Amino acid sequence: MPTRCLHRKAHLRPLDSDDRFEYRHVILPKQMLKLIPKRYFSNDDTGLLRILEEDEWRGIGITQSLGWEHFEVHAPEPHILLFRRPLPGGAKR
């Protein structure tokens, strides 16, 4: 799958934060899930993506600055990937 295809269609939601992390939701078009390699999905037949390593999510065309970690998939809407990164020094914003 050409990475530019997914990159053009992924939607980055505005940032949110708590006292330790800032968070971002990446919303993929539902049709794009069919183009993601099967090895990126959990083995339990739920149809959910597993937690992806940075090289994997970058490999499917998601581009963000350094430090982001894929930490959750929104189960009711598996095309929404949740990312976080530590706030500098763990300080509140």
> Per-residue pLDDT for 35 more than 50?
yes
| 56, 37 contact by CB (below 8 A) | no
Specify the CATH class of 3-90 in words: alpha beta
Q: What was the pLDDT predicted at 24?
A: 94
pTM, to two decimals: 0.80
> What pLDDT, in 10s, does the model give residues 42-79?
988 788 899 999 999 999 889 999 999 999 988 888 89
Per-residue pLDDT tens for 7-25? 456 777 768 899 999 999 9
Contact 90, 18 (CB under 8 A): no
Q: Kind and range of the H or E element at 58?
A: helix 54-59
